[in-house]
Structure 1
Amino acid sequence: MIEFDRRQFEEYARAVFTTDSPSGCTADAIALIKSYVEQLGYTTHVHNKGTLEVDVPGLDESKTVATSAHVDTLGMMVRSVKSGGTLALTKVGGPICPTLDGEYCTVLTREGRRYSGTILSLAPAVHVYPDAATMPRDADHLEVRLDEEVKSAEDVKALGIDNGDFVFIDPKFTMTGSGFLKSRFIDDKASAVLLLLLLRWCSEKKAAFRHPTRIYFVVYEEVGHGASALARNIDEFVTVDMGCVGLDLAGSEYAVSICAKDSGGPYDYELTNRLIALAKKHELPYTVDIFPFYGSDVGAAWHAGLDCKGALIGSGVCASHGMERTHVKGLEATLKLMYLYLCGEE
């Protein structure tokens, strides 16, 4: 059975999480993961859209299977430069905007220059604005205060900042001594790191994959079309993404979630049953759950016409699309279930 190497997880995760990669600006993160994968001896291919593909041979060629994790994250972009020198914003994906009030950020210009700033509400000072505590914290009521001496739109544009520039949100990556990973963008960078651990283990232990396997590090998932351009000859596709935690859901930060249904409908019944059976047989902490407001890369692949069985698993993540948190117990269970599916017993 594969072992969860916490030290290696944290090393990979710190690098991946602190490499900014909102949907549409993922090249640096893909290049980083590509370098890790190639150091392990695997052959890679980067798609025109930016997705990284790793093809691994398998012992039984009767079918081809696939897995994925998405490297792209939520983010913001500059909607316009305001007359007073602040930046209006537009969302990339669906961040919980109230959690962004007060966050440090970095603006990337088209020429590659970076400027630090802070995302603030339009009423940021309690001593000045009577609605400082009550103003809505949606994208229309947030702006970036740049850490530059700017007093006009002309000052800002002289720095090279313009409409359409990306605004990177500080993830605040933290691993605690008690085993928690807390950071923005655990959805889904934690899963990408788990796939790196799986590839590393198989490379070092000379562990064979049961079937020819396509492993995808996907981009554009957060905006709905991440896995819409995969290879056509895939029979089964198990994507690794975050599990939901809260309300009446069964999901837990300490377990792997196996999703039976999300917003797009049920996942493949037989494949989901097989994953549940593997978790039971090997006594992994797991839950079976419904994700009420959720879509995955399997859904994107199905909508694009891929004829495959599909399933979804992932470590339970608290406070998704905000200040997220999960635990190494859930991450370990997810890693082991993926290993059992790809390399273990049927």
Structure 2
Amino acid sequence: MNIDMAYMKETMLRILEIPSPSGDTDKAMDYVKREFEKLGVSTRMTNKKALIATIEGEDNENQKTIAVHIDTLGAIVREIKQNGRLKILPIGGFAWTAFEGENVIIKTLKGETYTGSLLPEKASIHVYSEEVRETLRTDENMEIRIDEFVKNKEDVLNLGINVGDFVYFEPRTVITQRGFIKSRFLDDKVCVAIVFGLVKYLKDHNVEPKYTTHFYISNYEETGHGISYIPEKTKEFLALDIGLVAPNQQSDETKVTICARDSRTPYDFGFRKKLVDICKLNNIDYVVDVYFRYGSDASVSVLQGFDVNFACIGPGVDATHHYERTHIKAIEETIKLLIKYITA
């Protein structure tokens, strides 16, 4: 298949550059909307600000919906401390050690931005010795050091920073010569880019899907309520999300993963078998995996009562919700599976 991987990578890099923690995704969603429009794909926005792009197919009655999420992990200001530092709460599920030492951007209600760093209260080993190594990182002892001359709470308030302001972590995206992609927030921005790789392929080769297909860009997946509406004629709902690469898991950084079960529910056997059969028939590198602590927009949607068949696939990603890594081959295998899924 002649997939425009250069376009996919460029789109991925641009999406990764735009901060979009759950609750503050407007800028990223605007970019996604414009990119669909460039490709000639119509879009509409839900009341909850999710985006749905639609490509009509031969069969308009048995429609498919493919969901990805633009929202990521992040944080929010909980308290301005008397020493001029910020106490924060996480947005989404992660360990503070995954982001310790990272540079951040604080965005105020007026849209002004300030830089800073995430640190434990006792960061210097020269000062605090073994306590630095032994202290458990928690919501209570992690703080933001602002890159401004602030010594107290009043100094911070005078900058316009206040409780409720969003905190963005730097993604630190790197593509290596060997094809590895390292970045925060590959979950799930790499999958958003995969959708554009798929749509670009359809447009470049003048391919019409067999079934009308909706691309649902959700914006609250990391906080557990990404799906609030599904197009009425949807028969199959496919979540496109990361595979978990780790010891005792089957997922691989060079393959597409088909999920059999997550922490909420098993996925439909027949739907999963159809995806596996597509991979076997078309020599697509894949694995089937089971996840212990994981959920997707597909499993959440059926738990909310939507009457759709459901499955979940995605590229294998190492160190999820940390400094993540995948390989360009896993992305390409995922796009191949999607092409065959919506055109077969």
TM-score, L = length of structure 1:
0.97
Aligned position for 1:56: 55
Q: Could you list the per-position Cα deviations for residues 246-277 of structure 1 after superposition, in whole angstroms to 9, with x for gaps in the alignment? A: 12111100100000111111111111100000
> Which residue type is aligned with residue 251 of structure 1?
S
Tell me, in whole angstroms, the C-alpha distance in 2 between the residues paired with 1:283 and 1:25.
40
Aligned position for 1:155: 155
Q: Counterpart of 2:62 in 1: which secondary structure? A: coil
Matches within 5 A, 1:101-140: 101-130=100-129, 131-140=131-140
Tell me, in whole angstroms, the C-alpha distance in 2 between the residues paired with 1:212 and 1:7.
27
Contact 2:4 2:201 in 1 (8 A): no
Contact 1:80 1:88 in 2 (8 A): yes
Contact 1:229 1:304 in 2 (8 A): no
Aligned position for 1:20: 19
Tell me, in whole angstroms, the C-alpha distance in 2 between the residues paired with 1:73 and 1:337.
25
> Which residue type is aligned with residue 163 of structure 1?
V
Matches within 5 A, 1:120-199: 120-130=119-129, 131-199=131-199
Q: Counterpart of 1:188 in 2: which secondary structure? A: helix
**Match status 1:214 vs 2:214:** yes
> Which residue type is aligned with residue 263 of structure 1?
S
Contact 1:317 1:325 in 2 (8 A): yes
Q: Counterpart of 1:249 in 2: which secondary structure? A: coil
Deviation at 1:308, TM superposition (A): 0.8
**Match status 1:325 vs 2:308:** no
Deviation at 1:48, TM superposition (A): 1.6
Aligned position for 2:95: 96
Contact 2:184 2:323 in 1 (8 A): yes
Tell me, in whole angstroms, the C-alpha distance in 1 between the residues paired with 2:51 and 2:320.
25
Contact 1:10 1:175 in 2 (8 A): no
Contact 1:68 1:215 in 2 (8 A): yes
Deviation at 1:239, TM superposition (A): 1.0
**Match status 1:243 vs 2:243:** yes
Aligned position for 1:203: 203
- After the TM superposition, list the runs of 4 or more consecutive aligned residues in structure 1 that deviate by more than 6 angstroms: none
Deviation at 1:23, TM superposition (A): 0.3
Deviation at 1:129, TM superposition (A): 1.4
Q: Counterpart of 2:77 in 1: which secondary structure? A: strand
Deviation at 1:215, TM superposition (A): 0.8
Tell me, in whole angstroms, the C-alpha distance in 2 between the residues paired with 1:304 and 1:56.
26
Q: Counterpart of 2:109 in 1: which secondary structure? A: coil
> Which residue type is aligned with residue 36 of structure 2?
V
Q: Counterpart of 2:234 in 1: which secondary structure? A: coil
Tell me, in whole angstroms, the C-alpha distance in 1 between the residues paired with 2:115 and 2:211.
47
Tell me, in whole angstroms, the C-alpha distance in 1 between the residues paired with 2:201 and 2:233.
26
- When the two structures are aligned, how many residues end up with a matched partner? 343
Q: Counterpart of 1:58 in 2: which secondary structure? A: coil
Aligned position for 1:297: 297
Contact 1:75 1:95 in 2 (8 A): no
**Percent identity at matched positions?**
36
Contact 1:240 1:312 in 2 (8 A): yes
Q: Could you list the per-position Cα deviations for residues 49-72 of structure 1 after superposition, in whole angstroms to 9, with x for gaps in the alignment? A: 111101111112340111011000
Aligned position for 1:252: 252
Q: Counterpart of 1:263 in 2: which secondary structure? A: coil
5+ residue gaps, structure 2, are: none
Q: Counterpart of 2:154 in 1: which secondary structure? A: helix
Residue range with higher mean Cα deviation, 54-63 or 188-197: 54-63
5+ residue gaps, structure 1, are: none
Tell me, in whole angstroms, the C-alpha distance in 1 between the residues paired with 2:219 and 2:149.
35
Contact 1:198 1:339 in 2 (8 A): yes
Tell me, in whole angstroms, the C-alpha distance in 1 between the residues paired with 2:138 and 2:183.
21
Deviation at 1:4, TM superposition (A): 3.5
Aligned alpha-carbon RMSD (Å): 1.0
Q: Could you list the per-position Cα deviations for residues 100-135 of structure 1 after superposition, in whole angstroms to 9, with x for gaps in the alignment? A: 111000000000000000000111111111312222
Contact 1:232 1:306 in 2 (8 A): no
Q: Counterpart of 2:127 in 1: which secondary structure? A: coil
